[in-house]
Amino acid sequence: MITEKLNNLNRSRTSTIKTEKLKIEKNTITTENECIQIHNISMISRNELPSPISFVDGLILTAAFISIFIRFLTIPSIIIFVSYLLYIAQKYNEYEEIKYFITFNLGSSQNYHLYFKNTDKDFRDKVFQTMIEFFDNNHKSININIKNQEIKKQNIYTGDNNQNLIGNTFNNGTAISQYGNAQIQTFDINNPDFQWDKLTSEISNLIQSNSLNSDILETFKLLQKASETHNIRAFEYTVKKRRAIFNQEFIQDTLSGILAGVISTLLGKLY
């Protein structure tokens, strides 16, 4: 009911984001069902839905109430008055749950409305400010739990030696992904001590993030299967055959950790 009002602001170019959690990292804002590339955002703004109770609602209630005192209209007027009063109460309760939202305007004039269910204006403003800070300095990973009103930040790249470093340069086979002291690792799946379980876990998390389209998702499912069975040949074959996918900017911005290092190392052997 109320969420339709969001979409009706511009019916053909507007989407409403319904989520309890979102993650902001590198070039993406990821929710349970959507993924927005940050570099496509041209404007972000704070908004509030207008009250859903209109002048017409007041007129209908007033007319129904007055009609109660007309003898032959008493019973139907009471039914209409009570029913419409319940309808207005339902509208207002839904409005109270989601009246605060943030709008992302993309360069294509597509609007995404992220609304905050059962949260107050202060938390909406805090999320908005956090996003602005991220756009100015995107060397962070930010997890936002709207339901519990929690914001967790984590540095993912700094110049000192006691922070986390994550970075991908796939065209020369170099990747950095290290917690603690900064150092470059070798990600060789032919190594007998290679951590297949961690690689499988990272691939599974990426698949479950719902940030990949069907073609890319199929590729990572093949990698997941090869990793689960420690099938080096199948893993290398998939990366080689579908290397065009891994050279996409979106994928390079999304991957991190052991997965980024392994793919980077394998691709580096092809150049």
In the chain, alpha helices (H): 2-8, 55-67, 74-98, 121-136, 196-208, 214-228, 232-241, 243-246, 249-254, 257-268
Q: Domain segments of the chain: what residues?
A: 2-49+99-155, 55-96, 165-268
- In this structure, of 72-81, 124-133, 140-149, 169-178, the range with the lowest mean pLDDT score is 169-178
Render pLDDT for 170-192 as a digit per residue (tens, 0 to 9). Answer: 443 333 333 333 333 446 788 88
Residue 268 exposure: Cα atoms within 13 Å on the Cβ side: 16
| CA-to-CA dists, residue 234 to 4, 178, 189, angstroms | 47, 26, 12
Neighbours of 269 (CB within 10 A): 10
Beta pairing, strands 35-37 & 140-145: unpaired
Calculate mean pLDDT across residues 41-60.
86
The string over 241-253, giving b where at least 16 C-beta atoms fall within 10 Å of a residue's C-beta and e elsewhere, is ebeebbeeebbbb
Using only C-alpha atoms, the chain has a radius of gyration, in whole angstroms, of: 26
pLDDT of residue 80: 93
CB proximity list for 204: less than 8 A, separation 6 or greater: 224
Structure tokens at 243: 């290397």
CA 109 and chain centroid, separation: 19
The predicted structure's pLDDT at residue 187: 67
Beta strand 140-145 with 150-155 is: antiparallel
The pLDDT, as a whole number, for residue 107 is 63
The pLDDT of residue 271 is 45
pLDDT at 38 over 50: yes
Provide the Cα torsion 142, 145, 148, 153; round to 10°. -10
Instruction: Indicate if the pLDDT at residue 245 is higher than 80.
Output: yes
Residue 259: count other Cβ atoms within 10 Å of its Cβ: 25
44 vs 152: CA distance, rounded Å: 21
pLDDT in tens, 188-229: 788 888 889 888 988 888 888 777 777 788 899 999 999 999
All residues at 6 or more sequence positions from 150 whose CB lies less than 8 Å from its CB, including other chains: 143, 144
Q: What is the mean pLDDT of residues 16-24?
A: 79
Write down the pTM of the prediction: 0.46
Residue 154 binned pLDDT confidence (cut-offs 50, 70, 90): low
Mean pLDDT of 118-127: 80
pLDDT band at 9; cut points 50, 70, 90: very low
Distance (Å, whole) CA 46 – CA 127 = 10
